[in-house]
Structure 1
Amino acid sequence: MIDTVHAVAIAAEHHDDLPLLADWYNLGPEILGVLDPFDDPAAEALREIVHRTGALDGTPAHDFRPPPEVMADDPLESWWWGISTRTLHSI
């Protein structure tokens, strides 16, 4: 599924459709099937597009982000949501 979402992200960026990009990204890594983004180039590329475009800077219509304490305690969630820029392997 992450490959499909990555393709959608490329198109959304091209058409400046940041709400669409945010809606897909806000589903989170587990729903999108990401276990280790460093073994999945599409996950890393998707995260880069989201951060580069600022797609999460506004208030998304659909926000499935976990609470901050869950993000802080989970290396994958922390990486996905941008709390940590460290690699999962260094945690």
Structure 2
Amino acid sequence: MPLIQVKTSVSQPESNVVDSLLTTLSAKLAQHLGKPESYVMTSFDADVKMTFAGSFDPVCYLEIKSVGSMSSQQTKSMSEDFCQVVEDTLGG
């Protein structure tokens, strides 16, 4: 089953924001992988203590798992798409 996990250091957004983010990512992951959305799982964790480049500035980490392989072009396209969705939803 495809899975997209979102972990961020930002404070927990309102429930409707998280719901919108997860449903958008679910649909997009299914589309990118060509699999039914009924197989896709999503998760979201906020307030995670994280650093990037030695800084505690707001940061987000996305992880995608799926059975089978993904081409480098596919992962590039997904990275661009998902990062834009997260930035638009949570701010950047």
Q: Normalising to structure 2: TM-score of the pair?
A: 0.26
Specify which structure has the higher proportion of helix: 1
The structure with the larger Rg is 2
* Higher relative contact order (Cα pairs below 8 Å, separated by 6+ residues): 2
Q: Normalising to structure 1: TM-score of the pair?
A: 0.26
